Amino acid sequence: MSLVRALTQQLRLSLLAFMLPIFMLFQSNGWAETSPLSAEVSAPIEAWKLERLPSDWWRAFEQADQTSLTVKLQALHARLMAEIALQPAELQNDLANQMDAIRLNSRAYVDLRQKEPTLGKQELKSASSYTLAQWLDLLQAVRLAKQAQQKEQYALDQLSAQLDAIAGEADDAAAAYVSESQQGKLSRLVVMIERRFAWLVVGQSLRLQRLSLEKESQRLDKLIERWQAATQQLSLAEADVKQVSSDLSKTRAELEKQFDRLRSAQASAALVWGDDALSRAKAHRQQVNALSANIELLMARLYMQWNERLLAYVNARLDTAFDWEKSLRMPLETWQSDWQAFESLRAQLKNQLEHRREQVQTDFLALSEHESTEVNPRQLSQVKHDYQEVLQQLSNEQTLLKSADGLLKDLSTLDELQVALLLAHDGVWRNRWHSTMQLMRDVTNQSVELLTTTLFKVGDTPVTSMGLLRVVMFIMIAWWISFWLRKGLTTVAARNEKIARHTTYTLGRLIHYIIMVIGIVVALSSVGIDFSSLAWIAGALSVGIGFGLQDVVKNFVAGLIVMFEKTLKVGDYIELPSGISGTVKEISLRSTLIITGDNLEVVVPNAEFTSGRVVNWTLSDLYRRVHIPFNVSLASDKKEVVDAVLQAAKQVPYSIQEGRRQPQVVLSSLEGKMSFELLVWIKQGTVNHAYGVKASYLWQIESALRQRGIELV
């Protein structure tokens, strides 16, 4: 019975450990807020049984008011310390850190429950009209508020992920507490309480972060609403035009200075070389200076773009004789393209900054390992100081790049305002027309950019999608020219009986090969592949032949031999050693196509015609004599048999009865029977029907002999 009770107790503990995380999940999702506390949890802390603590014990602290919360926490701390005091000294030392964490989390939980999120920076006061400076201040305030909202959202996401992670740890600790034996119960209890209070602290932080994000979003909405109203109530004057024009002139002058600084920095970076620590430090400084010049040049270009766009916007709002097409619509298309280029450049500079920082940090950390051999003690402090200044400069440039990101956003906002001005001035349909044309231009430009992107290289020659399309186009043109030339040649040959069919076919194949080779060479040359040296082609062919193209090359060469030797032509009737016979229909690069009498198409490798024996029935003469064997009994009259068979041969339309090509009947054997053969010349064009010809003669022979009472055996 004791074994049964032990098994029952173990099963109960396992089931509880399995169900507890699920229950905790429901609790953390809000069920605990609506369900009342159990009697055991609502009891005083002093009455709790620590060896069998309820699974929702922490709700007693979560639902307590601020006054009773402190009392409950003090009671819990006292209970835990009393239990720990009864344990061995070694265990007390192990649990001391956990108790310190419980105290810290408890105090943090009490403080966070009393806190409310602080208000952000107050927005500007509203007015009936706004100057250009006030309008720009509002625009900057909107951008900063958007950045603040993004930071708040990021912090909220981080806290949510942290809460989920700690919730999992707390659930695991609770399951371990339930399944632990009495001996280690207290350690598991302390860990479970510490993790649960950590979860409560993060939960309160998440609550405050949600409220902060909500208030920041409300502030941003108000700022956007006020800025939109300021855009409508913007009051401009000629002084604003002069001020923006003056700023534009200054930014253009600054841009020229930044170009000069960039050229100087790049020249200085190229003069520093060496592999020792001191040279590397100098090289890093000069390269960072060049990178800094690039970033400041980007900022100067952005400021110039901002002033150009702002000047156009102010003039469009102020000048009644404003040239909308020349001064706004056309520049706007260029500005939008420039924006994409600036954004791409900013991303490249950001990557270069990160890469340079990694290199500087790596060399800085490695400096201490080689300082005794590469740098003397007097120079060491200077080198370290240089590295620290370079790292600080990289941090400053990273901050400057963030400003560039803000400027890009302002430029995008100003573009939207200019588009709205164009829409109000030109009307919906005209703007739709211009938008459609702009979309088509963008698609065309992006397609061209995609087609001109390098896919791979052949040697030093880059190959693009456009180049591949050009190769395919040239090859298709070559095939098209070859097709129509061969078709024209066939038409001419069909009208002129003096031109043999096989000659036309051979010439057509030769023209096809030459044109295709020229087309391939021209196609590959169009993408920049140099054919002045053919060594790499010969090498590629030799490697290909060595790795399994021997049969292909052998059949190709055999096909050329067959066509130029003229031992086999299209239209010839041939018989192969395998017994297959038929008419040659086509001779291609690798094989020859033969049509049998049963209309079966047989593909034969060209090499079989140069390495084996092939019977060509129509090589030099279209007339052929066929042998039709038949047998009669020894008692038959030979003369009567011959007369009957010759008469039968004359009845067959295939027979030739001219000059020396008269039908003949010969006696070939007398072994138990008389064996005869009918030797008959057949007409041109009937050789290709060998089976039908033989059947016709046998039919007539049998009929003629039957009429004379002669029996075939």
Least reliable range by pLDDT among 170-179, 271-280, 337-346, 578-587: 271-280
> pLDDT band for position 431 (50/70/90)?
low
Return the bridge partners of 674, or none. 632
Report the pLDDT value the prediction gives residue 300, as an integer from 0 to 100: 92
Report the pLDDT value the prediction gives residue 498, as an integer from 0 to 100: 63
Q: In sequence order, what E strands does 597-673 have? A: 601-605, 615-616, 624-632, 664-669
> pLDDT band for position 499 (50/70/90)?
low
Question: Tokens at residue 465, please?
Answer: 């999608």
> pLDDT band for position 157 (50/70/90)?
very high
Task: Determine what percent of the chain is predicted with pLDDT higher than 70.
Answer: 81
pTM of the model: 0.54
CA pair distance 297, 309, nearest whole angstrom: 18
CA pair distance 531, 84, nearest whole angstrom: 89
CA pair distance 4, 10, nearest whole angstrom: 10
Report the pLDDT value the prediction gives residue 164, as an integer from 0 to 100: 92
DSSP letter at 659?
Answer: T
CA pair distance 99, 85, nearest whole angstrom: 12
Domain 623-713 annotated CATH 2.70.98.10 = no
> pLDDT band for position 539 (50/70/90)?
low
CA pair distance 581, 575, nearest whole angstrom: 4
| CATH of span 236-451 | 1.20.58
DSSP state letters, 390-406:
HHHHHHHHHHHHHHHHH
Report the pLDDT value the prediction gives residue 691, as an integer from 0 to 100: 65
Domain spans in the chain, listed from the N-terminal domain onward: 2-225, 236-451, 623-713
Q: Is the separation of the CB atoms in 363 and 288 below 8 Å? A: no
For residue 363, the number of C-alpha atoms closer than 13 Å in the C-beta half-sphere is 24
**Each residue's pLDDT tens digit, 165-217:** 999 998 988 888 888 777 778 888 888 889 999 999 999 999 999 999 999 89
Q: What is the 3-state secondary structure (H, E, C) of 465-528?
A: HHHHHHHHHHHHHHHHHHHHHHHHHHHHHHHCCCCCHHHHHHHHHHHHHHHHHHHHHHHHHHCC
